[in-house]
Amino acid sequence: MHLSVTGSSARAHGSIRVPNSKYHAHRALILASLAPGVSRIHGLSNARHVRYTVTMLRSLGTRIEVDGDTFVVHGGRYHPRRDWVTAGSSGTTLYFMVGLSALADRDLIVTGQKYFQRRPIAPLLRALRDMGVDASSPTDCPPVTVRSGRPSGGEVHISGTLSQWVSALLLVAPFATAHTTVVIDGEFNERHYIDLTVRMMANFGLHVDVSDGGRRYDIPPNQSAHPADLEIPPDIGSAAFGFAVAAVHPADVLLTGIPSVNSADVDHPECGFLDVAREMGVPMQYDANAGGVRVRHDGIRLRGIQLDCRDLPDMLPVLSVMAAFADGESVFRNVQHVRLKESDRVVAMLQLNDMGADLEFDGMDLRIHGACRLHGAHLSSFNDHRVLMSLAVAASGSEGRSTLTFPNAYRISYPEFLDAMDTMHVDMQVESGPAKPTARARRTRPTGDAEIASRVTGAEWIRRWAQEKPHALAVVDAAPTRTDTLSWLELDQKVDRAASMLLDLGVEHGDRVAVQLPNCREFVIIAAAAMRIGAVICPIMPIFRQREVAFALRRSKAKVLVVVDNFRGRQHDRETAQILDDPETGRTLNLEHVLVLHATPGTAHILPPCKNRDVRWHVWHNAMGMTTVDRTAIDARSPAPEDAAQLLFTSGTSGEPKGVLHRHESLSRAAWMEVEHLPLSTTDSIYVPSPLAHQTGFLYGMYLSWVLGAPAIVQAVWDPARAVQVMQAWDGSFVQAATPFLVDLVRQVESGTPAPASLRIFVVTGAAVPRALAERATRVLGAAICGAFGTTETGLGALAGPSDPESKAWGTDGKALTGVQLRIVDDAGGVVPAGTEGNLELTSPTVFDGYLDRPDLSAEVFAPDGWYRTGDLATLDGAGFLRVTGRLKDVINRGGEKVPVSEIEQLLYRHPAIDDAAIVAMPDERLGERACAFVTLTNGQRLSFTQMQQFLDEQNVSKHYWPERLEIIDEIPRNAVGKVQKFVLRDRAAALAAATGEAASNTHEESSND
């Protein structure tokens, strides 16, 4: 569902009744509940948060009746009916009542909706404890245990960040057994709301002495509240949306119930909005006959303003909308505490840029340059009532159709909002189904920052989007013959089911779950499920054969393995059975369960025979279907950001593969760093052709989509024709993949297939993208081609951006991402001048901690000062652009996949016909490099290319690692100390490739292992 708003320049007209103030209603109801006797509060409020206060007070035993437009409250001692009470989703109810719950005649647990469990209230709890209220929580978040007993008083200190915390202390202090002094520390915000609390307390006979400046409050002890009759005034915060509509449209709008256009005559903490609106040029007049304020004009241009948001924090969203339609610059200062509301409201309102506005936030001030006209966009409300209503007002005055997520959030504070808009003839309605974003809409600036993102664990992202936009697209599974999709809610539910299934299989915190699957939705589900319960996902490349798979299982100590029964002609389940049945290999594994994903769901599946009785086999779909979701057990195992999340094995380029462990925080941070660098947004769709078992596909495909809350379009079998079709159909806008994917995509479009209209960024990883290819791809695809450098151990270290000059974006590996530092050093470790080739080293908050169970190898890759030694040769120019020029380690980069040269050489040495062997890179137009084997033969032996392939096949070596050229020579060139001079062989291989092309000769043979 979404809120659909049709923009219009037509006149807004009609009369709307301004609802009663929720601020007064909260305080009046609570104070009346503390006063023995009967209080009458005239002026009901239908705001959901006020209803939560009523519900909580009733749970505490307070009798509250409704008589027409009046709350009738029978106050007195709290007698709860049960040992817990809830504030629902109301922060005001929670903050005000957590301390007052101590006045009940029994101990209580104060809780609220689940998002409060991630909303720390530590400063408030500390202050309450200093006052003598026994309120505690192990997480400093609800639920909070409150012991029965009056506070003891004393001097307490509280931050001035949030007024509700101060008001919460003032409300409970009169009931202390000794004098209480509340002192405000630090920056002081939102004093108007505290002043309201003090005035309301006086109405009920509770006395508070306020010092000059409002930073010290003295409250006498042992006070008693007395009943009162009160009239609730109009809510200016709700009226503001009516005024804003009347400001951005030609208008004849009457807002009844407001007694004056002057803030001094209006009892409301947000009455200053009236003065600001007049300053901006809204023509307001009080109409005594109609009993309200009228706005009438044929079209106006508002004026920019300067505003200190400490006075009107909750007005920032709607005033920023009005400023977006104003002439000149508006500046909103002291906005940091506004970022602590139901959402980060400052960042949320930056979405106005998607509508053609010009907002800038420098961390302190929000600056808005007015636009002549805004256009429609697809936006997020972040489930924040003020953000939703404010952006809806902006959309109503824009050209085109806009959509907003969480369309019912307005009910929290202004249930009559849609009715009021309809009365003013503004077209807003809640619609079902997803709102499809435009292909090339202006991108939303990233919300938050890398530090904040790093505190969110992998599957928490999914849970967040399932709550915020449940029906939005999350996964597109583009199989060769069908396409399946999952919404965020569906993905979240399946992840929960898979997580419960893993728990049923005995998976504990920190256990490794291995998965050898192609790119499919089940990979996404199992990866997120493992992370959700604190397990570690261990992806294994689908191209790996028994040898590589057995190594990964043995080294990872994986307890569970998930495989597909049939992929690209190989039966992975039967290969797994062979591994387990091998007497040498099977007994070395920690494996307890194998889950087999059937390639054709819905048909019968027979598990392969396996003699190893220590391992239990399961059919994936059957196991999922028989699992009962246990959310309590799942939530109890939620990992911390510092916990391990992913275990990947390197390609073993300098020996055996090495295990690289990454934490949740490093994965989330790495993804966010790319989001900020490019930038990316929720309006993007992430196309993922790279294997999800590779860091490029896993982190910068799947995980990136989680962080963004954007769809991940996964394709199991690479087919450029299918790729173009999928991106076109599902608005694929971002791709990160190796050079061969880009080459094939360009060739497909050059053959006549229309380029995908939504594609805007292609990040090329695995090897530097040739300048000629980048230029050609930019022209053919109409997208920005960005070079990048990264490793499994570090994530991306450098990246070009769409706005970089072509001379830098093409042919380089980009610039360091924010938070990353690069340096080029000589062999002695000294930094070399700009432009000088040397050893590339980097430091980044995303660098891994070390290789799994190999401290010796870890020590080799870290410099004495902790910088990571990449093993690459590179230059760094004066502008900070990186250019990798070679590799220190003997690596062959075959289309982004690193061939484990040393390991294959050692295997070749075992062949009875081979005396000596060396493998080097051979240039290739499409893949970048292929492997060429130079060998010398033992006396009298012969060796053909086919025989070499057969030997490697017998060793269960992945075909991608087989040399694709065999050169038999008389002697392997070596230096004086016996080291192979591979540079000589590389030059020879390059010359042979250039001279012979695709033709075979008597001295060599070639084959493609794709």
C-alpha 963/C-alpha 919 separation (Å) is 8
Instruction: List the structure tokens of 322.
Output: 């009005």
- DSSP tag of 763: E
User: What per-residue confidence (pLDDT) applies to 528?
Assistant: 97
C-alpha 526/C-alpha 544 separation (Å) is 19
Please write the tens of the pLDDT for every residue from 206-264.
999 999 788 999 999 999 999 999 999 999 999 999 999 999 999 999 999 999 998 88
- DSSP tag of 125: H
C-alpha of 83 from chain center: 37
pLDDT of 387 higher than 60? yes
Last residue in a domain, options 219, 245, 265? 219
Could you tell me which residue, 158 or 980, shows the higher pLDDT?
A: 158
If asked whether residues 203 and 284 sit together in one domain, one would say no
Tell me if residue 459 falls in helix, strand or coil. Answer: helix
Instruction: List the structure tokens of 744.
Output: 């094939």
C-alpha 181/C-alpha 762 separation (Å) is 61
Task: Answer yes or no: are the C-beta atoms of 387 and 317 closer than 8 Å.
Answer: yes
Instruction: List the structure tokens of 93.
Output: 């109810």
If asked whether residues 246 and 180 sit together in one domain, one would say no
If asked whether residues 13 and 26 sit together in one domain, one would say no
pLDDT of 771 higher than 90? no
If asked whether residues 207 and 241 sit together in one domain, one would say no
- Which residue bears the tokens 């570690």? 536
Query: Phi/psi class of residue 490: alpha, beta or left (left: φ > 0; alpha: ψ in -120 to 50)?
Result: alpha
- 91 marked among binding-site residues: yes
* Non-local CB neighbours of 487 within 8 Å, separated by 6+ positions: 470, 471, 472, 473, 474
If asked whether residues 90 and 59 sit together in one domain, one would say yes
Total structural domains in the chain?
Answer: 3
Tell me if residue 464 falls in helix, strand or coil. Answer: helix
Average pLDDT for residues 161-181, to the nearest whole number?
95
What per-residue string of b and e applies to 797-828 under the rule 16 or more CB within 10 Å gives b?
A: bbbbbeebeeebbbbbbbbbbebbebbbbeee
C-alpha 151/C-alpha 137 separation (Å) is 18
What per-residue string of b and e applies to 70-84 under the rule 16 or more CB within 10 Å gives b?
A: bbebbbeebebeeee
If asked whether residues 395 and 253 sit together in one domain, one would say yes
- 314 marked among binding-site residues: yes
Length of the chain: 1010
Name which of 83-92, 459-468, 723-732, 734-743 the model is least confident about: 723-732
Exactly one of 130, 314, 872, 890 is catalytic; which is it? 314
User: What per-residue confidence (pLDDT) applies to 655?
Assistant: 57
Other C-beta atoms lying within 10 Å of the C-beta of residue 350: 21
- 119 marked among binding-site residues: yes
- 760 marked among binding-site residues: no
Is the residue at 153 inside a domain? yes
C-alpha 505/C-alpha 500 separation (Å) is 9
Average pLDDT for residues 391-417, to the nearest whole number?
88
Instruction: List the structure tokens of 211.
Output: 């010092």
What per-residue string of b and e applies to 103-137 under the rule 16 or more CB within 10 Å gives b?
A: bbeebbbbbbeeebeeeebebbbbbbebbbbebeb
Task: Answer yes or no: are the C-beta atoms of 64 and 58 closer than 8 Å.
Answer: yes
Average pLDDT for residues 963-971, to the nearest whole number?
93
C-alpha 345/C-alpha 316 separation (Å) is 8
* Non-local CB neighbours of 137 within 8 Å, separated by 6+ positions: 121, 125, 143, 144, 145
Average pLDDT for residues 426-454, to the nearest whole number?
63
Is the residue at 656 inside a domain? no
Cα-based distances in Å from 432 to 44, 405, 470, 491, 685: 31, 11, 11, 19, 21
- Whether the link from the prior residue into 679 is cis, omega within 30° of 0, is yes
Domain CATH code at residue 170:
3.65.10.10
Other C-beta atoms lying within 10 Å of the C-beta of residue 617: 17
Task: Answer yes or no: are the C-beta atoms of 930 and 894 closer than 8 Å.
Answer: yes
Confidence of residue 1002 (pLDDT cuts 50, 70, 90): very low
C-alpha 391/C-alpha 326 separation (Å) is 15
Is the residue at 509 inside a domain? no
Name which of 196-205, 567-576, 663-672 the model is least confident about: 567-576
Strands, E assignment, 84-179: 84-86, 108-111, 135-136, 144-146, 154-159
C-alpha 160/C-alpha 504 separation (Å) is 48
Could you tell me which residue, 530 or 441, shows the higher pLDDT?
A: 530
User: What per-residue confidence (pLDDT) applies to 431?
Assistant: 73
pLDDT of 500 higher than 80? yes
Last residue in a domain, options 219, 245, 266? 219
Task: Answer yes or no: are the C-beta atoms of 530 and 507 closer than 8 Å.
Answer: yes
C-alpha 139/C-alpha 121 separation (Å) is 9
Is the residue at 951 inside a domain? yes
pLDDT of 141 higher than 60? yes
If asked whether residues 26 and 60 sit together in one domain, one would say yes
User: What per-residue confidence (pLDDT) applies to 442?
Assistant: 40
User: What per-residue confidence (pLDDT) applies to 527?
Assistant: 97
**CA terminus-to-terminus distance, the chain:** 44
User: What per-residue confidence (pLDDT) applies to 444?
Assistant: 46
Is the residue at 496 inside a domain? no
If asked whether residues 271 and 187 sit together in one domain, one would say no
Number of C-alpha atoms within 13 angstroms, CB side, residue 474?
31
- Which residue bears the tokens 């506004």? 338
The mean of the pLDDT values for the chain is: 89
* Non-local CB neighbours of 246 within 8 Å, separated by 6+ positions: 12, 253, 282, 295, 424
Please write the tens of the pLDDT for every residue from 722-739.
999 888 877 799 999 988
Q: Burial-class residue 865 by CB neighbours within 10 Å (0-12, 13-18, 19+).
A: exposed
Task: Answer yes or no: are the C-beta atoms of 409 and 48 closer than 8 Å.
Answer: no
Domain that holds residue 102: 22-219
C-alpha 887/C-alpha 223 separation (Å) is 78
C-alpha 668/C-alpha 376 separation (Å) is 31
C-alpha 650/C-alpha 776 separation (Å) is 32
C-alpha 524/C-alpha 535 separation (Å) is 15
Average pLDDT for residues 341-356, to the nearest whole number?
89
If asked whether residues 27 and 174 sit together in one domain, one would say yes
If asked whether residues 104 and 84 sit together in one domain, one would say yes
Is the residue at 343 inside a domain? yes
Task: Answer yes or no: are the C-beta atoms of 173 and 100 closer than 8 Å.
Answer: no
- Which residue bears the tokens 């992913």? 646
- 27 marked among binding-site residues: yes
In 3D space, the residue among 807, 761, 809 whose CA is nearest the CA of residue 784 turns out to be: 761
| Annotation says 314 is catalytic | yes
* Non-local CB neighbours of 265 within 8 Å, separated by 6+ positions: 259
Amino acid identity at 23:
Y
If asked whether residues 55 and 178 sit together in one domain, one would say yes
Please write the tens of the pLDDT for every residue from 56-73.
999 999 999 999 999 999
- DSSP tag of 393: H
Instruction: List the structure tokens of 891.
Output: 């690596």
Average pLDDT for residues 422-451, to the nearest whole number?
65
Amino acid identity at 270:
E
Instruction: List the structure tokens of 234.
Output: 């109009």
User: What per-residue confidence (pLDDT) applies to 602?
Assistant: 53
Instruction: List the structure tokens of 216.
Output: 């010290």
pLDDT of 652 higher than 60? no
Task: Answer yes or no: are the C-beta atoms of 905 and 917 closer than 8 Å.
Answer: yes
Averaging pLDDT over each range in 465-474, 496-505, 654-663, which range is the top one?
496-505
pLDDT of 883 higher than 60? yes
Averaging pLDDT over each range in 424-433, 443-452, 736-745, 813-822, which range is the top one?
813-822
Instruction: List the structure tokens of 442.
Output: 């202006």
Rg from Cα positions in the chain: 33
If asked whether residues 302 and 198 sit together in one domain, one would say no
Is the residue at 442 inside a domain? no
User: What per-residue confidence (pLDDT) applies to 225?
Assistant: 97
Last residue in a domain, options 431, 462, 494? 431
Domain CATH code at residue 964:
3.30.300.30
Please write the tens of the pLDDT for every residue from 312-325.
889 999 999 999 99
User: What per-residue confidence (pLDDT) applies to 274?
Assistant: 95
User: What per-residue confidence (pLDDT) applies to 46?
Assistant: 84
Task: Answer yes or no: are the C-beta atoms of 728 and 755 closer than 8 Å.
Answer: no
Cα-based distances in Å from 218 to 180, 204, 225, 762: 6, 17, 17, 63
User: What per-residue confidence (pLDDT) applies to 1003?
Assistant: 40
Confidence of residue 852 (pLDDT cuts 50, 70, 90): very high
Average pLDDT for residues 727-753, to the nearest whole number?
89
Please write the tens of the pLDDT for every residue from 3-48.
988 777 779 999 999 999 999 999 999 999 999 999 999 998 888 8
pLDDT of 184 higher than 90? yes
- Which residue bears the tokens 């009056």? 150
Task: Answer yes or no: are the C-beta atoms of 165 and 128 closer than 8 Å.
Answer: no
- Strands 593-597 and 560-564 come out as parallel
Is the residue at 700 inside a domain? no
> pLDDT over 70 for what percent of the chain?
94
Return the H-helix or E-strand segment holding 876: strand 868-876
Torsions phi, psi for 64 (to 5 deg): -125, 120
Tell me if residue 624 falls in helix, strand or coil. Answer: helix
C-alpha 712/C-alpha 683 separation (Å) is 12
- 771 marked among binding-site residues: no
